[in-house]
Structure 1
Amino acid sequence: MTNIDISLKEMMGIDGALGSCVVDYGSGMALGTLGGSKDLDLAVAAAGNTEVVKAKLRTMESLQIKDAIEDILITLGSQYHIIRPVTGRSGKGLFLYLALDRNRSNLAMARHQLRSIEERLEV
């Protein structure tokens, strides 16, 4: 089992998790996925959220913001979507994506757990 597989299982262990993936934002391809449904296509989510990350990075560059993205939160009526870029050297160019059921999750705890998973991920 690869470290990506372990990370995906840990992400799905977060209360309210609906789907998770590790994504290469250079290509938009998911390196691994777990969960999802007919209403949550993780391959589509990986590609679409790649554009979100790239747009934010371009905007930060245009604004000359010399900082790193900790995470990007998208709040929907019934879900939270968290995008967390991987900061370790081996994970450069990757992000974690986690979709949560808003009624079954604790956002603060989910962000904390996702940060911990990201810190341990080695690709």
Structure 2
Amino acid sequence: MPGIDECLLEAMTLPGARGAAIVDWTSGLALGSVGDPAGGDHETTAAETAEMARAAAEFAVFAPDPAEPGGTSAAGSPEGPAVEDLMVATRTAFHLMHFVETTFDSSAFLYLWLDRRTGNLALARMRLRDLSVRLVLG
């Protein structure tokens, strides 16, 4: 099972990958980062992507329907946030954030900055999901 560094290096093998990070969305701190920072530096990128992830994880609009099996609230569910992925498309890039599920109360996500011309959004989503399952935090 890969640790943070191995996970990030594997994410950077994706076509079009420009930068990657594992970020704690409650604190806005990067647990690790590699490649070019989208926001000018890795700390800014981590803080700004964490703001977006935190909003998506905590806003009720993204919570599952309580009538569905296992449905509670976004931030309060035992499984973690209801949101699985966030994707932002700009004219030149894709920004992907995939929430990492763990056995403990995790508030981390994998972030990938992908060049829009050379990247493959579907492949990147599948690879981030695979990496998050195998990732060892701690």
* Number of equivalences: 121
User: Runs (4+) of structure 1 moved beyond 4 Å?
Assistant: 37-40
1:22–1:91 distance in 2 versus 1, CA, 3 Å: farther
Computed over aligned residues only, the root mean square deviation of the Cα atoms, in angstroms, reads: 2.0
Q: TM-score, normalised by structure 2?
A: 0.79
Counterpart position of 2:31: 31
Q: Deviations over 1:71-99 (max 9, x none)?
A: 00000000000011101225711111000
Provide the residue aligned with 1:101 in structure 2.
115
Quote the sequence identity (%): 35
Instruction: Provide the rounded CA distance (Å) in 1 between the counterparts of 2:89 and 2:38.
Output: 20
Residue in 1 that maps onto 2:22: 22
Counterpart residue identity of residue 18, structure 2: L
| Structure 1: tracts of 5 or more residues without a match | none
1:54 matched to 2:54? The reply is yes
Where structure 2 has 5 or more consecutive residues not aligned to the other structure, the ranges are 65-70, 75-81
Question: Which position in structure 1 is the counterpart of 2:84?
Answer: 70
Aligned counterpart, 1:82? 96
- Separation in 1 of the partners of 2:40 and 2:18? 8
Higher helix share: 1
